Structures are given as structure tokens and as C-alpha cells.
Amino acid sequence: MNLSLNNKTALICGSSQGIGLAVAQELAGLGANCVLLARNEEVLRTAVQSLSKKENQEHQYLIADFADPEKVRSVVYEFLNNRKIDILINNSGGPKPGLISTAATTEFENAFRQHVVNNQNLALAVIPGMKESGYGRIINIISTSVRVPLKNLGVSNTIRAAVASWAKTLSNEIGQFGITVNSVLPGFTKTERLNSMIENNAKQANRDVEQLRSEMEADVPLRRFGEPSEIATMVAFLATPAASYVNGISIPVDGGRTGTI
Ligand SMILES: NC(=O)c1ccc[n+]([C@@H]2O[C@H](COP(=O)([O-])OP(=O)(O)OC[C@H]3O[C@@H](n4cnc5c(N)ncnc54)[C@H](OP(=O)(O)O)[C@@H]3O)[C@@H](O)[C@H]2O)c1
């Protein structure tokens, strides 16, 4: 099984911490050159230093805010300038929680820009190089809400479905060039985002944080939350030559929590 990413370059968005950073660490472990992208330069600098260089790779970072797709676009095009990206990981912070029945239209517009418009811009930037080399992997970190909408995540549920549909549509069009497009749907994963969501939900329901956390863990067949590395290994596999015939899927990595077959 060919799991080598030697001489491949990956652009990993939302990668200063959490799932994105874990993905970068796995890809670097398989030999990829990694380009991290997020907003916080200090954290990015530390993140780059945590990546393996056992294949003499070069790692670097780009600073951009997904709230501003034009800026993201220009930062990435400036970086590309005759360079190629072989692996694109679309990922960033999730939309803020809340009921759909009270959500403002601007929340939908912002989330659409942050998730769909950026993904499209980044795909347009990297596809020409991928076509040239006949190898490309576009992998989107979405959420299990693509399968079953989650409570109190109205805007997120809506936009996640749009991203999954965007990805499937793109996979139909560019598979012929050796470029696969797949999505990974994390379940409860131990990151800053999960912590703040549990704290927020506990506060709103006037509940004890630790009790709520235990109840959520009990709801997972594996009876625990996932580690970021457990999401990242699936993403990394999809990025390798070994996954060459996997295309157009969205795969939950959630300890079995999602109630669909
Ligand atoms: N953790 C879970 O349980 C879980 C479950 C299902 C789905 N997900 C989804 O998976 C994705 C990653 O989640 P996570 O738990 O790893 O989150 P996280 O720990 O909060 O990390 C988010 C990453 O994205 C970057 N980021 C956030 N907003 C950004 C922006 N506007 N522009 C550029 N970069 C941005 C952050 O860096 P900077 O702050 O430096 O920009 C950070 O590196 C999210 O979409 C999340 O909703 C997570």
C-alpha cells in the first residue's frame, strides 16, 4: 500500500490547532511539505515547528482570515506563483451555534462565504496544477451534521450540507484528471471548538459542564470523544496514492455516533 507523500505539497487550512493541525502533523509524517493557513501568526509559527521533517521537507505558513475570501484568494495566488499544491485540505472554524428559527440572514451569508466561497476559490487556485501533474486530493473537513442535523447548530447544519453537495458535484467533474474530492465528517473531537460548545450549551441550559460532557460521551458507541489525530489519520489516508479509487464520498469519523447506515 503506497502511503508515501514524499515530494507532495499540501495546503492545510485552519491548521494552527485542533483537527487542522493534527492533519498537518499526519501529512508531514507521511513525507509531505506542508503549508499551514490560519489567522494567528504566533500559533502558526509554533505549529510549523511541530511538524516532522524526516524527508527533508519544507514547511511554511500563510496568514489569512476566511471571513475575507478575496484576501484568502490573493494570499494563496501570491504563494502559488509557479508552485503546485497536490493536496488541499479545506477547513476552518465552524459557524457559531444557535437555533435556525432565530438566525439572522447575515449569519447564513457569512457562513456561506467562509465555507463555500473559500472552498471554491481555493479549488480554482489549485486545480490547474493538479491537472498538470495528474494527481490531486481535495479533502473537506465538514461535520456529521451532513447526515443528521445537530441540535442548536442551525446555520452550521445548512452550510455543511451545501459544502458536501459542492464537494460531490466537483468530484464528478474533475475525477477524470486524477483529482479526487472527498469529505471527512468528524464527530465529537477533543478540540477548543468542542470545549467551547460544551461550555456554551451547559451555560444556556444551566447545567454542570462535566455532567453534560459525560452524557455526550455516553451517547457515542465507543463511549468517548475522538482525538484530533483519529480524524487526521482518515484525512491522511485519503490524501495518499493508496486512496486513488476513493472519490466523491463523505465519511463520518465519529466513534459510531451518527445514527445512519
Ligand atoms: N471538534 C469537533 O468536535 C468537531 C466536530 C464536527 C465538526 N467540526 C468542525 O471541524 C472544523 C475544525 O474544528 P476544530 O475542532 O479543529 O476547531 P478549532 O480547534 O477551533 O480550530 C479551528 C482552526 O481553524 C482556524 N480558523 C478559525 N477561524 C478561521 C478563519 N476565520 N480564518 C482562517 N482560519 C480560521 C483556527 O486558527 P486561527 O484562530 O489562528 O485562525 C484553527 O486553526 C470546524 O469546521 C468544526 O466545526 C469539529
pTM: 0.98
Distance in angstroms (rounded) separating the CA atoms of residues 51 and 34: 8
Residues near ligand 1 with C-beta < 6 Å? 14-20, 38-40, 43, 65-67, 91-94, 141, 143, 186, 188-189, 191-194
Nearest CA to ligand 1 atom 45: 94
Please check whether the domain covering 9-189+227-253 is classified as CATH 3.40.50.720.
Answer: yes
Q: What does the pLDDT look like over 202-255, one tens digit per residue?
A: 998 999 999 999 999 999 999 999 999 999 999 999 999 999 999 999 999 999
Across the chain, the runs of DSSP E, i.e. the strands, are: 9-13, 33-38, 60-63, 87-90, 136-141, 179-186, 250-253
**CATH 3.40.50.720 in the chain, residue ranges:** 9-189+227-253
Q: Could you write out the DSSP letters of every residue in 104-138?
A: -HHHHHHHHIIIIIHHHHHHHHHHHHHHHHT-EEE
* Model confidence pLDDT, tens digit, residues 80-101: 998 999 999 999 999 989 999 9
CB 96 within 8 A of CB 107: yes
Q: Which atom of ligand 1 is nearest to the CA of 190?
A: 1
Find, among 14, 134, 108, the residue nearest to 62 by Cα: 14
The SS3 of residue 240 is coil
Distance CA 42, CA 189 (A): 24
69: how many CB neighbours lie within 10 A of its CB? 19
